[in-house]
Structure 1
Amino acid sequence: MLTTAGPAGADSDATGLARAFADAAERHGVPESVLLGVSYLTSRWDGHDGAPSVSGGYGPMHLTDAATALAASEPTGGHHAHGTEDARGDTSRPLPPPSPGPRDAPDTRAVPADLRTLAEAAELTGLDPAELRTGNAANVTGGAALLAAAQRDLGHPASGDPADWYGAVAAYAGAGTREAAEFFADEVYAVINEGASRVTDSGDRVTLPPRAVVPDTRTADALGLPAAPRDPRVECPRSVSCAWLPAPYEELAGGGYGNHDQARRPASQSVDYIVIHDTEATWETTLDLVQDPEYVSWHYSLRSRDGHIAQHVAGEDVGWHAGNWYVNAKSIGLEHEGFLTDPDAWYTEAMYRTSARLVRHLAREYDIPLDRHHILGHDNVQGPTDASVPGMHTDPGPYWDWSHYFDLLGAPFRATAGPRGGLVTIAPDYETHTPAYEDCEGAGSPCAPHGSAAVRLHTAPAHDAPLVRDPGTHPGDGESSTGVNDVGARASAGQQFAVAERRGAWTAIWYLGQKAWFHNPADAPTAVNARGWVVTGKDGAATIPVYGRAYPEAGAYPADVPVQPVVPLSYEIPADQEYAVGLRTDSEYYRAVTFDPVGHQVVRGEEYFQIQLGHRIAWVRADDVELRRS
């Protein structure tokens, strides 16, 4: 198996991390493809500069030392620790912003075995634990030793055939169920069959050439893991590990209830969106929060270390997760274990791949197109009113790798037009695109350099030009910043915008009523050209009114349903500008303010278009705009 730091084809070229994989595989008798596949699924071969993952794993092999990682961590407030939004986002039944407070300091005395594999690797190799945490080569050696030990413990010889290592790979996941262990192993062998190549965060080119391998799945029998039948309430594809852990639907004192609404989707309303969140908490804290009837809810949580899924709310019901009731009523929310400001507490490949499988499944079930008009980040969800816009959440943030995610979804961001296309799809190269951010470790603190899916937007075609202003997120005279939670001058991979101008290495887009410039050089493009539908103001109009929710007009409401206000956001959008259209939809309001869902109603009215207004989406009334091809 060749792993090279240069062009594939000459083993003598292997250096650095690539050589470490080859040496460790030979020393411990593990097929190199197996070692590379396991490492790719846990870290994509990155070392993360010795920082632990959210589940306490270190280095390219994700050797776990949760006691050390937790002892050094700061308590966090969980899913809603950043932002002040009302997660339900319904002004007819507003909720106070959840504030569970910081979690207790972690107890490091009783860490389960699957979260302390680094100590076992130290014992097997004689290497110092500190070296295993911070040295990539040592870490790879430790991972190889663990795989070899698992193979021995299962009673299997150290075969040179990758097909014979399925059981050892399943054991490496440290999963508590056979389903979860086998999902991890299946994904490792999928990587081996597909192949992979990338430059890691240490600057090493590592390559796993594709190799057709049919693993012997019987080798996992000796693990003795429980193989309980899947709960029939789970709505996941069969190819992932998925459990049912329900969010409570309970009536509370004073006539309130939590933490979601019962519905009959898609019979009652179409599901148009899937919203991607990060948890801002560990797995254990996340599960504790979603089981609190006085908290909020989402449909699925995904675990970082192995991609295991817990489903909490049925797809037919409405979770309280996006901060905008219109979006909540028409979406499914996915929470991914991780932290926006700490990209090296990383989103693992296992979690990306599981999430992509789940999203593909949901997209088929609900007929949701696989594009960034329908697959939203929480940070792309608009505030329903002016007052709510500044407090909307900003996860999963600029470090979520949207391009890789859509590659896994089978819907990569590709050019659909020539160099004069009327739209652009943002698509920087994540690994080499490293704009500076700050506030990761407190106000004003610089974030460590890291790949990013977002481009920065300026008022003129120059790096030193001011950033464009977002008067919604920065009311008054506030300026946009390079803060990691500031979405005011940011466009993310997959988002589409109408082109306003091109000038050399710079492209301008229409954005929040302004001409916003981003660097887009021919030798390192950060966008691809596209065609599609746009809206512009009608002849004679001065501005285009934009809305934070697509609610019906007053005349659409029956007498027993209070009319919900339809008030434009305060953004000034000149009528001669163009904005990319995501979908055309009837306006809808889901009236759900009582525990008993018998009286819940859906009100429908005039048509709206969803547009890409800025970093966040918005809606315009079809009667206010002209629809045209870009």
Structure 2
Amino acid sequence: MPRTPAAVAAAASIALLLPLAGPASAAPAPLSDRQQAYDSAAAEFGVPAEVLLGVSYMESQWNTYGGTPSVAAGYGPMHLTDFATATASASAPSAEFDGEDARGDDSRPLPQHTVPAPAGVPAAALQTAQQAAQLAGTTTAAVRGDVRQNIRAGAALLASYQQQHSANTGDWYAAVAKYSGATDSRSAADFADEVFQTIRQGVTRTTDDGQLVTLRADASVKPNTAQLAGLHLTPTDSTGVECPRGLSCELDPAAYAQYGPTPDDYGNHDTSDRPASQKIDYIVIHDTEATWDTTLNLIQDPKYVSWNYTIRSQDGHIAQHVLAKDVAWHAANWYINTRSIGIEHEGFLAQSGWYTEAMYRASATLVRYLAAKYQIPLDRQHILGHDNVPGITPPFIPTQHTDPGPYWDWDHYFTLLGAPQPVPLPAPPFGMLTIHPDMATNNVPFTGCVTRGTPCPARGSSEVVLHSQPSDTSPLLTDLGLHPNGAPQTMDVNDVGSRVSEGQQYAIADRKGGWIAIWYLGQKGWFHAKDAVFAAGLVVTPKPGKASVPIYGRAYPEASAYPPGTTPQAIVPQPYTLDAGQSYVYGGLAPSQYLATVYDPTGTVNTKPVNGKTRYYEIQYGHRVEFVNADDVQLKPAL
């Protein structure tokens, strides 16, 4: 009797990891003057050092990001904001789904839609750099470009928010909450609570410019949360929202309306009955490619698309737009949409900006809640970036999106999710690996962040580039789906056809010296072994006698499964194959389903998916996941 996937999985330890390149001798951290800068600024402006460190950590993790602004126009470790300067040299951004069918169902394409102009003048809370500079007796240019002056100015601004001087750390709660810039009470409290939790727990890390900073734990600190009432902030209305208790969330329903004369002329999402109708298997991480205000305007357009949640960069505030029971149009793949929840993060994957710690933490708290509620595994096979979602058919592969991009810190994010990479254990080599670069030092020379062909600013990346030979000067791999005209891969920040990302897992194809190769898009992709760790698990290979098997971008049922009156959806292979002798990491069983939808303003139509007998497996084939017919392949431990 053949072994079931579960039985095979039980025989292989999924969590076992081993460094690929052997133990590296870690160089001692350079002596830090950053710690001295925090201590000096705290003493100068009368701010408890632990409060200043805690606020800065919650804004930037004490990083400098090379002097570039965050997506909320914040500069430096203290995230002092200067919207006018941050946007002066940036080209006008477009919204993520401008011109794209994010519904991802070629049986009913979306109408043409137009993205409105960005919402105009930012809130006053986004203009703190000038005020902080005046308080510290320095210039806004120095605040943006000089780390020590940035910390001084941040301390001065924080001190100005303290209504009554106190040496008691807990009495700085209201000042910390005000520093967040939040205008509603729950968002401000969330920020302050996270700061004080960090103070109680302590943290030590080396910053992106090599400075060792420590915030010593002090479990005795008790924040005076009653102070929040004195800020007179707008109460947060969380009525009807699906969020964990205590997280700042509001319900901002997406448009659902008929805009034309035919039954299909409606948007911008579909009513359903998940998870009773079908399981939710995925959470898809996006960035908005637009500001918060513009994004919230777009969700109200029935001719546009939709997503379940948006998270604000400045303070981590969350707006829910589509309930989990319904299907949002966000991933440009209808199969994934019907089985996923989409979360947009205010920001731009390349053009400018880094993601704040407040946003990372709010997002991780939300995803932990959703994953527990819907039993979604916390791994890169189920927590996908939009850049990991496959195009539905060959024509759609080149237009599939690439957010949240190479600067999203997946390693840190999964640590916040409570699912960090396990500590490497001594064991014999296994036949698969987990991508695991050091993001702080992994400065990949991407181009096109602002202008096509122009080098991007130097910054750490969560992605690793693959080569066709074990050499940094050898050509990149070829993605026939992304470049059907045969054009070579490039280092453009959006050209994902020859790169892998933190946490993704691949089958090992070869090793040579300090290099290792993985199976990727039917080719051997080489990279430095230091950027991965060994892993154990399951891989998929063609069944004996099959030279190759087709690969699909969606797991649709066979034609005979559709009831009368429902048009069977075509099962269209991708321009890729899984060839004999190659292996790809198994990402789980994917049921064959198709959800036919109708416009139902009453919410009374019981939409059930078409369920087929065909079984599919999800595999990590390239940068994106794909699907194979289970009857074409076999599962085996990666040895």
TM-score, normalized by length of structure 1? Answer: 0.93
Deviations 1:504-530 (A, max 9, x none): 21111111111111111xxxx211111
Match of 2:435 in 1: 426
Q: Structure 2 counterpart of 1:142, which letter?
A: A
Q: Structure 1 counterpart of 2:202, which letter?
A: G
Match of 1:129 in 2: 140
The 5 A counterparts of 1:318-467 are 318-342=327-351, 345-414=353-422, 415=424, 418-467=427-476
Match of 1:66 in 2: 83
Contact kept? 1:320, 1:328, Cα under 8 Å:
yes
Contact kept? 2:236, 2:248, Cα under 8 Å:
no
Match of 1:546 in 2: 551
Q: Structure 2 counterpart of 1:173, which letter?
A: S
Deviations 1:348-391 (A, max 9, x none): 01100110000000001100000000000000000010110111
Match of 1:257 in 2: 266
Deviations 1:524-550 (A, max 9, x none): x21111111111101111102110000
Deviations 1:590-615 (A, max 9, x none): 01143456263310112110000100
Match of 2:5 in 1: none
Q: Is residue 246 of structure 1 aligned with residue 253 of structure 2?
A: yes
Of 215, 218, 231 in structure 2, the residue corresponding to residue 211 of structure 1 is: 218
Q: Secondary structure at the match of 1:449?
A: coil
Indicate the larger mover: 363-372 or 579-588: 579-588
Change (3 A) 1:514 1:593: farther
Contact kept? 1:93, 1:593, Cα under 8 Å:
no
Q: Structure 2 counterpart of 1:421, which letter?
A: F
Contact kept? 2:91, 2:450, Cα under 8 Å:
no
Match of 2:241 in 1: 234
Contact kept? 1:417, 1:530, Cα under 8 Å:
no
Alignment RMSD? 1.9
Contact kept? 2:330, 2:342, Cα under 8 Å:
yes
Contact kept? 1:36, 1:208, Cα under 8 Å:
yes
Q: Is residue 528 of structure 1 aligned with residue 545 of structure 2?
A: no
Contact kept? 1:587, 1:607, Cα under 8 Å:
yes
Match of 2:55 in 1: 38
Match of 2:22 in 1: none
TM-fit CA distance, 1:107: 4.3
Match of 1:3 in 2: none
Contact kept? 1:265, 1:271, Cα under 8 Å:
yes
Query: Matches of 1:43 and 1:464 in 2, distance apart?
Result: 35
Q: Structure 2 counterpart of 1:219, which letter?
A: Q
Q: Secondary structure at the match of 2:162?
A: helix
Q: Secondary structure at the match of 2:50?
A: helix
Q: Is residue 47 of structure 1 aligned with residue 64 of structure 2?
A: yes
Change (3 A) 1:141 1:302: same
Contact kept? 1:79, 1:286, Cα under 8 Å:
no
Query: Matches of 2:620 and 2:294 in 1, distance apart?
Result: 34
Match of 1:196 in 2: 203
Indicate the larger mover: 215-224 or 542-551: 215-224
Query: Matches of 1:532 and 1:483 in 2, distance apart?
Result: 32
The 5 A counterparts of 1:562-581 are 562-581=567-586
Q: Is residue 594 of structure 1 aligned with residue 599 of structure 2?
A: yes
Query: Matches of 1:53 and 1:257 in 2, distance apart?
Result: 36
Change (3 A) 1:504 1:210: farther
Query: Matches of 1:228 and 1:547 in 2, distance apart?
Result: 44
Q: Secondary structure at the match of 1:248?
A: coil
Query: Matches of 1:393 and 1:285 in 2, distance apart?
Result: 19
TM-fit CA distance, 1:158: 2.9
Contact kept? 1:237, 1:358, Cα under 8 Å:
yes
Deviations 1:468-523 (A, max 9, x none): 11111111312111110001001101111111122221111111111111111xxx
Match of 2:105 in 1: 90
Q: Structure 2 counterpart of 1:288, which letter?
A: N
Q: Is residue 301 of structure 1 aligned with residue 310 of structure 2?
A: yes
Contact kept? 2:467, 2:526, Cα under 8 Å:
yes
TM-fit CA distance, 1:96: 4.3
Indicate the larger mover: 64-73 or 271-280: 64-73
Dislocated runs of 4+, deviation >6 Å: none
Contact kept? 2:32, 2:213, Cα under 8 Å:
no
Q: Secondary structure at the match of 1:470?
A: coil
Unaligned runs of 5+ in 2: 1-26
Query: Matches of 2:329 and 2:426 in 1, distance apart?
Result: 38
Query: Matches of 1:473 and 1:400 in 2, distance apart?
Result: 22
Q: Secondary structure at the match of 1:588?
A: strand
Aligned pairs, how many?
Answer: 605
The 5 A counterparts of 1:50-199 are 50-81=67-98, 85-96=100-111, 98-100=113-115, 103=117, 107-108=120-121, 111-152=122-163, 156-159=164-167, 161-199=168-206
Change (3 A) 1:303 1:361: same
TM-fit CA distance, 1:33: 1.1
TM-fit CA distance, 1:229: 4.5
Contact kept? 2:273, 2:606, Cα under 8 Å:
no
Query: Matches of 1:43 and 1:616 in 2, distance apart?
Result: 29
Query: Matches of 1:416 and 1:362 in 2, distance apart?
Result: 31
TM-fit CA distance, 1:71: 4.2
Of 16, 38, 44 in structure 2, the residue corresponding to residue 27 of structure 1 is: 44
* Percent of paired sites with the same residue: 51
Change (3 A) 1:14 1:170: farther
Change (3 A) 1:374 1:258: same
Query: Matches of 2:402 and 2:433 in 1, distance apart?
Result: 23
TM-fit CA distance, 1:416: 7.0
Higher relative contact order, structure no. (Cα contacts within 8 Å, ≥ 6 residues apart): 2
Unaligned runs of 5+ in 1: 1-5
Q: Is residue 622 of structure 1 aligned with residue 630 of structure 2?
A: yes
Q: Structure 2 counterpart of 1:478, which letter?
A: A
Contact kept? 1:419, 1:529, Cα under 8 Å:
no
Q: Is residue 479 of structure 1 aligned with residue 484 of structure 2?
A: no
TM-score, normalized by length of structure 2? Answer: 0.91
TM-fit CA distance, 1:443: 1.4
TM-fit CA distance, 1:221: 2.5
Contact kept? 1:459, 1:517, Cα under 8 Å:
yes
Q: Is residue 289 of structure 1 aligned with residue 301 of structure 2?
A: no
TM-fit CA distance, 1:322: 0.3
Query: Matches of 2:175 and 2:495 in 1, distance apart?
Result: 44
Indicate the larger mover: 611-620 or 118-127: 118-127
TM-fit CA distance, 1:196: 2.3
Match of 2:21 in 1: none
Match of 1:611 in 2: 619
Query: Matches of 2:171 and 2:567 in 1, distance apart?
Result: 65
Change (3 A) 1:629 1:142: same
